[in-house]
Chain A
Amino acid sequence: MSATGLRHPGLNLGPAHGDAHEAAEEIVFGFWVFLMSDLVLFSAIFATFATMVDATAGGPDGHTLFDFKSAAIETGALLLSSFTFGMASVSMKHGRETRSVALWLGVTLLLAFVFLGLEINDFLSMLAKGGSPERSGFLSAVWLLVATHGTHVTFGCLWIVVMLIQVLKLGLTSDVKLRLLRLALFWHFLDIVWVGIFSFVYLRGLA
Chain B
Amino acid sequence: MSSADQEYRADLRSYVIGLVVAVILTAIPFYAVGFGGYGVRTDFYIIGLCALVQIPMHFRFFLHIDLSRSKRDDLQLILFSFLIVVLMVGGTLWILGSEKMRMM
Direct contact of A and B (CB under 8 A): yes
Chain A positions within 8 Å of B, measured between CB atoms, are 1-3, 5-12, 14, 16, 25, 29, 32-33, 36, 39-40, 43-44, 46-48, 50-51, 68, 71-72, 75-76, 79-80, 82-83, 86-87, 90, 93-94, 185, 188, 191-192, 195-196, 198-200, 203-204, 206-207
Residues of A within 8 A of B22 (CB): 79, 82
Contact A44 B11, beta carbon cutoff 8 Å: no
Contact A39 B85, beta carbon cutoff 8 Å: yes
Contact A83 B19, beta carbon cutoff 8 Å: yes
Given A44-B88, A200-B51, A203-B43, check contact A90 B30 (CB 8 Å): no
Residues of A within 8 A of B19 (CB): 79-80, 82-83
Given A68-B33, A90-B12, check contact A196 B62 (CB 8 Å): no
Given A6-B71, A11-B11, A39-B85, check contact A195 B33 (CB 8 Å): no
Task: Give the docked Cα–Cα distance between A87 and B69 (Å).
Answer: 22
Interface mask (B73-104 → A, CB under 8 Å = 1, otherwise 0): 11001100100110011001100110010000
Is B1 positioned at the interface, with any CB of A under 8 Å from its CB?
A: no
Residues of A within 8 A of B74 (CB): 8-9, 29, 32
Give the dominant DSSP class at A's interface: helix
Contact B89 A43, beta carbon cutoff 8 Å: yes
Contact A75 B26, beta carbon cutoff 8 Å: yes
Residues of A within 8 A of B97 (CB): 51
Task: Give the docked Cα–Cα distance between A95 and B49 (Å).
Answer: 39
Given A40-B81, A94-B8, check contact A188 B63 (CB 8 Å): yes
Contact of B11 among A51, A93, A191, A204 (CB under 8 A): A93
Chain B positions within 8 Å of A, measured between CB atoms, are 3-4, 7-8, 10-12, 14-16, 18-19, 22-23, 26, 29-30, 33-34, 40, 43-44, 47-48, 50-51, 54-55, 58-59, 62-65, 68-71, 73-74, 77-78, 81, 84-85, 88-89, 92-93, 96-97, 100
Closest chain B CB from A173 CB (angstroms): 21
Given A9-B64, A36-B77, check contact A207 B23 (CB 8 Å): no
Contact B81 A36, beta carbon cutoff 8 Å: yes
9 closest A-B pairs by CB: A5-B70, A86-B15, A207-B43, A199-B51, A47-B92, A36-B81, A83-B19, A188-B62, A47-B89
Closest chain B CB from A90 CB (angstroms): 5
Contact A191 B43, beta carbon cutoff 8 Å: no
Given A79-B22, A93-B11, A199-B48, check contact A6 B70 (CB 8 Å): yes
User: Apart from A29-B74, A68-B34, A76-B26, what are 10 other A-B pairs with CB-CB below 8 Å?
Assistant: A5-B71, A8-B71, A39-B81, A48-B92, A75-B30, A83-B18, A195-B55, A199-B29, A206-B34, A207-B44
